[in-house]
Homo-oligomer: A and B are copies of this chain.
Amino acid sequence: MATLVQNARKRLRSQGGRMTGQRWLICETLESMSGHPTAEELFEQVQVHDRSLSLSTVYRTLRWLEAEGLVSSRRFDGDQRQERFDPVHPSEHHHFLCTVCKSVIEFDSPLIDQISEDFEELEGVLVQCRSVELYGLCRQCRASENKS
């Protein structure tokens, strides 16, 4: 499966853009971070490898990747201001968020299409996108909750 850097390089080439060290690092770092980081979190992680890379560049790169459909941005319940970013996967997927440790688990279910089709029939609308978010306690946090 193509990595984010590979996809980005392809897009850049086709539009006369350049795969700079900064873009490379941002893509690689984003892909290595599991939990849908904010721009700020990604920036901090990127700075470990390049002290001089700026937050503007992180934002500019993320927005470009988003426009290219390679990265998606969202806000989860309880996120007040900052957006979260993650590489777009080839297949649609949805999110479970642990309200204690903030970890994210991705999932999918055929029932989501069913819901969508039921609703189309009921209302006469056309559904083009679906987003399901579940919130609760992950396995670990659930266990430690029980102990205390």
- Interface size bracket, A side: 35 or more
- CB-CB nearest 8 A-B residue pairs: A129-B135, A128-B136, A124-B139, A127-B136, A126-B137, A131-B133, A75-B75, A126-B136
- Quote the shortest CB–CB distance from A84 to chain B (angstroms): 11
Residues of B within 8 Å of A111, CB to CB, are: 111, 114-115, 118
> Which listed residue (B105, B115, B128, B142) contacts A112, Cβ 8 A?
B115
Contact status A130-B129, CB under 8 Å: no
Whole-angstrom CA separation of A128 from B136 in the bound complex: 5
Residues of B within 8 Å of A109, CB to CB, are: 115, 118-119
Question: Is A125's beta carbon under 8 Å from chain B?
Answer: yes
Residues of B within 8 Å of A126, CB to CB, are: 136-137, 142
A: which residues have CB within 8 A of B? 74-75, 77, 96, 98-99, 105, 107, 109, 111-112, 114-116, 118-119, 122-139, 142
Residue in B closest to A129 when the chains form the complex, CB atoms: B135
